[in-house]
């Protein structure tokens, strides 16, 4: 394992976060704080509790997951797309680093940034509502696993996109709506039976459900199923990345 090469990619990507501190850290925290004000205060005054948890506290895991998904995809996709856009990707491909080492550098940095943002948002949430974490270890597992999985997905998106519009269209038109419809601000048990069944086809439901369980032991689906779905999606992303590097799809052309 070429740890020097991995470290070089990782440190370069992390340095970009320090150069764009407002966009990388401050902006997501401000956006999430606005969600707390709007949903926690306005809607929370009408919906006092869900499954024995105050509404303001109930939406915390969903808001963290919303930021985690969008930031993981954004950081990873931009990290690999910009070298393709500028042509410096060929320096990476010709360097003595393997595919796993490239992934460790790019995806590791994107996941690290997302986990940092998630931790900051969790700390910020304590200023608005009371939060209890029943299973802190499992909370950390879901946080890191989700960050890595969607950083891998963002890496795929950054390779697939051939312009800046495509780079942003998937997070904006697919990921954010799926997150909003995945139980971020409500429990799917509140829906009619038909829509509960439809919602189960939304993969984000399993992420939010498992993450919320680690806080309040409330889950819309089994925790084991949440972990299994996340691991399965990670495996699919890894398989797709392996195929891309094997065939050179959008990398050598």
Beta bridge partners, 54, equal: 49
d(CA 221, CA 209): 6
| Side-chain-facing half-sphere of 165: CA atoms under 13 Å | 0
Report the share of the chain in percent with pLDDT over 90. 23
pLDDT digits (tens, 9 = 90+) for 91-136: 777 778 888 888 888 999 999 999 998 998 888 888 878 888 999 9
pLDDT of residue 210: 92
Written as six digits, the tokens of 229 are 């779905």
Report the share of the chain in percent with pLDDT over 70. 94
Contact assessment for residue 8 and residue 105, using Cβ atoms and an 8 Å cutoff:
yes
Residue 45 DSSP code: T
Burial of 40 (0-12, 13-18, 19+ CB in 10 A): buried
pLDDT, mean of residues 225-240: 91
Residue of 17, 215, 183, 234 lying closest to 116 (CA atoms):
17
Residue 25 DSSP code: I
pLDDT, mean of residues 171-200: 85
pLDDT of residue 40: 64
Written as six digits, the tokens of 42 are 């306005």
pLDDT digits (tens, 9 = 90+) for 19-39: 777 767 777 778 777 777 777
**Mean pLDDT of the chain, nearest integer:** 84
Mention every residue, 6+ apart, whose C-beta is less than 8 A from residue 241: 99, 103, 152, 155, 156
pTM for this model (two decimals):
0.88
SS3 state at 239: helix
d(CA 142, CA 127): 23
pLDDT of residue 45: 62
pLDDT, mean of residues 197-209: 89
pLDDT digits (tens, 9 = 90+) for 38-95: 776 666 666 777 878 888 888 889 889 988 898 899 889 888 888 888 777 777 777 7
Written as six digits, the tokens of 135 are 């299973």
Using alpha carbons, list the distances in angstroms from residue 196 to 176, 188, 218, 243: 19, 6, 16, 35
d(CA 125, CA 223): 24
Beta bridge partners, 53, equal: 50
d(CA 153, CA 157): 6
d(CA 45, CA 227): 33
């Amino acid at each position: 394992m070429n740890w020097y090469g991995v470290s070089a990619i990782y440190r370069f990507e992390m340095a970009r976060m320090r150069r764009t501190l407002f966009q990388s850290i401050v902006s997501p925290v401000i956006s999430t704080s606005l969600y707390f004000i709007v949903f926690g205060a306005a809607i929370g005054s009408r919906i006092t509790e869900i499954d024995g948890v105050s509404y303001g506290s109930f939406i915390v895991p969903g808001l963290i997951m919303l930021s985690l998904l969008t930031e993981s995809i954004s950081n990873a996709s931009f990290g690999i797309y910009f070298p393709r856009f500028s042509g410096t990707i060929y320096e990476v491909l010709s360097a003595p680093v393997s595919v796993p080492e490239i992934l460790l550098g790019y995806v590791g940095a994107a996941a690290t940034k997302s986990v940092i943002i998630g931790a900051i948002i969790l700390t910020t949430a304590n200023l608005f509502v009371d939060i209890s974490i029943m299973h802190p270890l499992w909370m950390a597992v879901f946080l890191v696993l989700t960050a890595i999985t969607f950083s891998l997905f963002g890496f795929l998106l950054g390779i697939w996109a051939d312009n800046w519009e495509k780079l942003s269209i998937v997070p904006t038109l697919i990921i954010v709506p799926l997150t909003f419809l995945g139980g971020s601000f409500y429990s799917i048990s509140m829906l009619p039976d038909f829509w509960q069944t439809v919602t189960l086809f939304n993969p984000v439901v399993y992420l939010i459900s498992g993450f919320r369980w680690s806080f309040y032991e409330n889950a819309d689906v089994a925790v084991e199923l949440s972990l299994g779905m996340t691991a399965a999606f990670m495996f699919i992303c890894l398989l797709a990345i392996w195929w891309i590097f094997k065939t050179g799809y959008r990398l050598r052309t």
